[in-house]
Amino acid sequence: MLSYTIRRVGQLIPVLLGMVFIVFMMIRAIPGNPAQLILGQQASKQAIEELTKQLGLTEPWYTQFVEYMKGLFQGDLGMSLKTRNPISDELWPHLAATIELAFVAMIIAVIIGVNAGIISAWLQNSWFDYGVMLIALIGISMPIFWFGLMEQYFVSIQLDLLPTTGREDVRAPIEAITNLYLLDTLIQGNFSQFIEVVKHLILPGIALGTIPMAIIARMTRSSMLEVMKSDYIRTARAKGLKMPLVVYKHSLKNAMIPVVTVIGLQAGLLLGGAILTETIFGWPGIGTYIYDAISSRDYPVIQSGILVIATLFVFINLIVDLLYAAIDPRIKY
């Protein structure tokens, strides 16, 4: 087990290095000078040239790469070209916002997805089953940005139930401690603010959670069906155990193994899929951060942002793999 873990982590390093390298090369191939963007339309030609030089952009790319890697090994993510702040200072609040959103989306997806999947399997070929599966397919087929708009239009504007954008009620601002507002408000014991945060999370959470929800429902259903056909479940039923008990106690446990994998895979991708959701809901997360950086050619921010997301993604999958290995005795390493 330990050796497997070590080997698995070892494999990660070239992937991460490769990613940094690819991002580095690619971003520099993008036309456009950050100096122009920083200085804006009124800037003179000399000013732009001067700033380009100061930002180190006249250096050859390999020098820049070496500098960047050197910094990375010292835990320095570099400095934003646009704001001139260390990226490590700016990154966490954005990342926290995305993690919180992804977490809520995942919870919504897991609760609804797993339960819908179980009931579907249990009532296989019923109308309920067909309905759930059709809805799940629609969920997968829906463009997330359109769904977000529709949510805003119907729930937030027409029915006026939930706030449209942002993370908090700006009239009662939250004092950030960890930047995970759910946690911060609980630490401060401010329940009304906590509710406010939850309110802001619902719509984007649903928008982001829909696809994983649909996938989890389908996955749960099919693995449940398989397990329920197995001998020991048939035995359990033959012994006269009640169906709900069989479903929730005996089958679910076994059916969860493939589901966990899917959940892990989704959790990682949620971090990236957040870009579109964040755009719609004005969420100050990492997706917004990177997207803005791309449009202002803020190279260090793009690099570090993508690096952080990808690292998280890779590690979540690593954890899932290890978990998987630990749960399922049939898998040997």
Partner 1 sequence: MAELAGTTPPITNPTAAQEERVISPWRDAWRSFRKNKLAMAGMFLVAFFILIAIIAPLIAPYSYDVQKMADKHLAPSAAHWFGTDEFGRDILTRIIYGARISIWVGCISVAGSVIVGSTLGVIAGYYGRFIDMIISRVFDIILAFPSILLAIAVVSVLGPSLRNALIAIALINVPIFGRLVRSKVLSVKQEEYISAAKAIGMKDSRILFQHVLPNSMAPIIVQGTLAIATAIIEAAALGFLGLGAQPPTPEWGKMLADSKDFILDAPWTVIFPGLAIMLTVLGFNLMGDGLRDALDPKMKN
Partner 2 sequence: MKKSLFALVAFILILSLGLAGCNSSKTSSDGNGKKGGDGGGVMIYGKGGDAVGLDPAHETDGESFIVTEQIFEPLLSYKKENTDVQPGLAKSWEISKDNLKYTLKLEEGIKFHDGTDFNAEAVVKNFERWMNGDAAKFPYYASMFGGYKKDKAHVIKEVKAVDKNTVQFTLKRPQAPFLKNLAMSPFAISSPAAIEKYGDKIGQNPVGTGPFKFKEWKRDATITVVKNDSYWKKGLPKLDGVTFKVIKDNSARMNALTKGEVDLIDNVNPSELDKIKSNNKLQVFERPSMNVAYLGFNTEKAPFNKKEVRQAINYLVNKDELIKNFYNGTAEAAATPLPSAIAGQNKDVKDYGYNETKAKELLKKAGLEKGFKMDLWAMPVSRPYMPDGKKIAEAIQANLKKVNIDANIVTFDWGVYLEKIRKGESPAFLIGWTGDNGDADNFLYSLLDKDTINSNNYSRYNSPAVHKLLIEAQSTADEAKREVLYKKAEKIIHEDAPWVPLVHAKPILGGTSKIKDFYPHPKGSQSFVEVSMTK
Give the range of 69-77, 227-235, 295-303, 313-321 binding partner 2 by CB under 8 A. Answer: 295-303
Q: Which parts of the chain fold into alpha helices (H)?
A: 2-29, 34-39, 45-54, 61-73, 87-122, 127-141, 144-151, 181-187, 191-228, 231-238, 243-245, 252-281, 286-295, 299-327
158 binds partner 2 (CB under 8 A): no
35 binds partner 1 (CB under 8 A): no
203 binds partner 1 (CB under 8 A): no
One of 227, 275, 301, 308 touching partner 1 (CB under 8 A):
275
188 binds partner 2 (CB under 8 A): no
Question: At closest approach, how far in Å is the CB of 115 from partner 2?
Answer: 8
Task: Give the end-to-end CA distance of the chain in Å, rounded to a whole number.
Answer: 7
51 binds partner 1 (CB under 8 A): no
Question: For 191-218, what is the HEC assignment?
Answer: HHHHHHHHHHHHHHHHHHHHHHHHHHHH
For 151, the token pair is 């949510």
146 binds partner 1 (CB under 8 A): yes
Q: Report which of 319, 278, 216, 311 is spatially closest to residue 13, judged by C-alpha positions.
A: 311
Give the range of 29-37, 57-65, 174-182, 238-246 binding partner 1 by CB under 8 A. Answer: 29-37
One of 105, 211, 246, 255 touching partner 1 (CB under 8 A):
211
Please identify, using beta-carbon distances, which residue of 23 and 119 lies nearer to partner 1.
23
331 binds partner 1 (CB under 8 A): no
**Could you say which of partner 2, partner 1, none residue 313 binds, taking C-beta under 5 to 8 angstroms by partner kind?**
partner 1
- Residues 308, 95 contacting (CB under 8 angstroms): yes
Q: What long-range pairs does 33-40 form, CB within 8 A, spacing at least 24?
A: 33/57, 33/297, 34/81, 34/82, 34/296, 34/297, 34/298, 34/299, 37/82, 37/296, 37/297, 38/81, 38/82, 38/296
Please identify, using beta-carbon distances, which residue of 182 and 241 lies nearer to partner 2.
182
Site residues (vs partner 1, CB under 8 A): 14-15, 18-19, 22-23, 26-27, 29-31, 130, 133-134, 137-138, 140-146, 149-150, 152-153, 157, 211-212, 215, 219, 222, 262, 265-266, 269, 271-273, 275-276, 279, 290-291, 294, 302, 306, 309-310, 313-314
